[in-house]
Chain A
Amino acid sequence: MFAYVVRRLFNVVITLLVVTMVTFGVFFLVPKLTGSDPALLYVGKTADAAALDGIRTKLGLDDPIYVQYGKFLQGLVVGRDYDAGPDTTHCAAPCFGYSFKTDQEVWPYLIDRLPVTLSLALGAAILWVIGGVGAGVISALRKGRAADRIVMTTALAGVSLPIYFTGLVSAAIFCYWLGWLPPPGYVDFAVNPLEWATNLLLPWITLAFLFAATYARLTRANMLETLSEDYIRTARAKGLRERDVVGKHGLRSGLTPLITVFGLDLGSLLGGAILTETTFNLRGLGEATLTSIRQNDLPIILGVTLFAAFFIVIANLVVDLLYAAVDPRVRLS
């Protein structure tokens, strides 16, 4: 197991390096190759020539590419100064860039937004795993009966309805019509945990519904396959109670493939968060992404991209380690 972890960690470092190269390439190199002026993207079209020159010197946009990449990496690891004579802007490590448009470092800005997205993601993830897996197991055990049909029909609705539709409709019903829930908003967990939860409930359910549907279908398929395996028959032949046959032997292998899917979903959650946050007016990372795109604020877009990429790589690492913990055949090979 130890050797496996070391090998995986090494892979992660390499992957992260590649991620920075690709991101750097896209944001710095491509404008250069297509002949557009990257400096323009940093300050906006209205800037005068002097401002553009200033930015160009600050970012070192006239330096060779490897020097620029080197500085970019250096910024991530130890921080960097955007230096133009007397006018120096410091960006502390990990420097994800500096937004000259809004005059702030990207990293603190993202970190500031993180709790909202994290709260949204975690709550939704818990809901969709429990709900999706539970529904899938019930469906598998009641294959072909009424419960199975209800779950599968609901799941179909879940995967096909867009977030802004389910989100807005449920907000209309529960917040404004029935008045059961406060209008969605973000209250810091440290300030008031109960309000934190009730305010996020609707966004959670909306986001979870989308994912839970996939999990219900996957769980059902995996469970049906697992329950027809020879080793399940062996478990029954030993005299094991049916609930242990399903709950211990069946779930263990039926749910293992879901770990992979869960990792991928966590990674792609930002996409769902953009829609959910805009639908419910939450100021998290998703909303930050959308705003920065609208305002053409390149450093923030870059920062979010890099952040998301790092997050996906880490999520994959966690998945692989979890998988190895669950499936002995992985860690021993």
Chain B
Amino acid sequence: MTTSVPVTELGPADLSPPKSFLEVRDLRVQFATDDGIVKSVDGVSFGLERGKTLGIVGESGSGKSVTSLAILGLHRTRSNAKVSGEIWLDGEELIKADNERVRRLRGRKMSMIFQDPLSAMHPYFTIGQQIVEAYRIHHGGSKKAAKQKAIDMLARVGIPQPSRRVDDYPHQFSGGMRQRAMIAMSLINNPELLIADEPTTALDVTVQAQILDLIRDLQEEFGSAVIMITHDLGVVAELADDILVMYGGKAIERGPAEAVFRTPEHPYTWGLLGSMPRLDREVRDRLNPIKGTPPSLINLPSGCSFHPRCPYAGRNGDRSFTERPELTGTTHAVACHMPPELRREIFIQEVSPNL
């Protein structure tokens, strides 16, 4: 796969101009709270081309949403957030750009589909008013023309009787319809980068499949770059060109979707695969899903932050406990102290048969 630039080439000291449409370099997001500094994203780098899809997976709290909000510059309004690193979108650096510049890109060049469409839409404005607003912020023009665009877009995302439903309020839509409306709103300005943050979590299985198909169709039509965030490795394996696995605010495995899904090399990714529901196996035959709880982002465990939960932590002497593993490898990069041969062997011998 010739999609994105290998992550390892993009260190923080790398001053070379960006090669990809979207390039995130050493992104860090920290929140000052009463309990201490929360390191929600801690040195994440990746690249993404137009027309391609990057899947970001990881447990709850691993920093997926915080990463995507950082790209849209939505931490700027929070006084307790500190964002550093570089985000290059189409040759333009966004972290140092001024507020007004980023605002103009938001919703137009880059837009976002949020997880829960009921809480993400304003309860007091109609679906139409909200889409019309999204369009007119960037294009102006008459409300009437914008409303016609909104109706067309609602039809495009599969809302029946769009010219009537456009005047409904969000609570009058079903969950699946609301998510379609949300997608219509995100796509109204033909964004070049679309971030879908768990777009199907709130929906039932059949609707999930429809929404994912819809996003894929629209991506082909508009040629946008898509970041698809999810808990579900299965979804991402099907939709994404590349996969980034996050754990405790760090990227711990990254590579072409096929490679990460078929021959994952990080013990955490094995755990994610093990916790995927499968119809053809009894639960008790399966590999144990990851034991223990996600790490505290205020006091990350020493060394590899996965070590308290990793069955293989003892195989590297002290290193897993004392030294943070770097993400290494070119196309398929992994952050683990075990040598690559050992990881592949363990996967084939011990993990794969139990999946």
Q: Is the CB of B111 within 8 A of A328?
A: no
Q: Nearest residue in A to B78 (C-beta to C-beta)?
A: A228
Q: In the complex, what distance in Å separates the CA atom of A239 from the CA atom of B122?
A: 15
Q: Is the CB of A237 within 8 A of B77?
A: no
Q: Is the CB of A229 within 8 A of B119?
A: yes
What's the nearest-Cβ distance from chain B to residue A206, in Å?
A: 35
Q: Is the CB of A329 within 8 A of B169?
A: yes
Q: Which residues of B contact A256 (CB under 8 A)?
A: 124
| The one of A231, A241, A328, A332 that contacts B121, using a Cβ cutoff of 8 Å | A231
What's the nearest-Cβ distance from chain A to residue B189, in Å?
A: 9
Q: Is A235 an interface residue (CB 8 A)?
A: yes
Q: Is the CB of A238 within 8 A of B134?
A: yes
Question: Which secondary structure characterizes the binding site on chain A?
Answer: helix
Q: Is A253 an interface residue (CB 8 A)?
A: yes
What's the nearest-Cβ distance from chain B to residue A251, in Å?
A: 11
Q: Nearest residue in A to B102 (C-beta to C-beta)?
A: A239
What's the nearest-Cβ distance from chain A to residue B164, in Å?
A: 15
Q: Is A71 an interface residue (CB 8 A)?
A: no
Interface residues on A, range: 20 to 34
Q: Is the CB of B124 within 8 A of A238?
A: no
Q: Which residues of B contact A249 (CB under 8 A)?
A: 122, 125
Q: In the complex, what distance in Å separates the CA atom of A229 from the CA atom of B171?
A: 16
Q: Is the CB of B116 within 8 A of A230?
A: yes
Binary per-residue interface labels of chain A (136-172) against chain B in the complex, 1 for a CB within 8 Å, 0 otherwise: 0000000000000000000000000000000000000
What's the nearest-Cβ distance from chain B to residue A260, in Å?
A: 16
Q: List 23 A-B contacts (CB under 8 A).
A: A230-B116, A230-B120, A231-B120, A233-B74, A233-B120, A234-B122, A235-B122, A236-B74, A236-B77, A236-B106, A237-B72, A237-B74, A237-B107, A237-B111, A238-B133, A238-B185, A239-B108, A239-B134, A240-B107, A242-B77, A252-B125, A329-B123, A329-B171
Task: Please list the residues of chain B having a beta carbon within 8 angstroms of any beta carbon in chain A.
Answer: 69, 72, 74, 77, 103-108, 111-112, 114, 116, 119-126, 133-134, 137-138, 169, 171-172, 185
The 9 closest A-B pairs by CB, nearest first: A239-B107, A238-B107, A239-B106, A230-B119, A231-B122, A238-B134, A328-B169, A230-B120, A234-B120
Apart from A234-B122, A239-B103, A239-B134, what 5 extra A-B contacts exist at CB < 8 Å? A231-B120, A231-B123, A233-B74, A236-B77, A237-B72
